[in-house]
Amino acid sequence: MAAVLAVSPFAAHADDSVAQLARETGLSERNIRMVLGARTPYAEYRTQFDRVNWTLKRAVGDENYRRLMNGEQVVLERRAAPDAERAVADKAPATDKNGTAAGS
């Protein structure tokens, strides 16, 4: 599932985009606004900015981070949770070294 996000301080729907980006990255909307907008109104800027900025960059990737900082649109693709990937792998039939199903 892909989520299209446009984060620009001048966009009419910026609040919706900030909320969606917060959900996708696990950060708070306040933290997203602190990183992408003016920093000085946030009391926590001095103590949290570097960590929040690193977390956002790690969550969206270098290219999407660069685009966000330039006010451009980004597309984020949700990855399956590790437990979901493991469940799919557990349901797959066992194969031998030749790639044939075991017991065939």
| Pairwise CA distance, residues 11 & 6, whole Å | 8
CB of 30 within 8 A of CB of 23?
no
Of the candidates 53, 15, 9, the one whose C-alpha atom is nearest the C-alpha of residue 31 is 53
CB of 20 within 8 A of CB of 5?
yes
Phi, psi of 4 (to 5 degrees): -95, 125
Predicted confidence pLDDT, tens digits, the chain (104 residues): 344 454 444 343 556 788 889 998 999 999 999 998 888 888 999 999 999 999 999 999 999 999 999 988 887 776 655 555 566 556 655 555 565 555 55
| Pairwise CA distance, residues 47 & 42, whole Å | 10
Task: Provide the pLDDT for residue 89.
Answer: 57
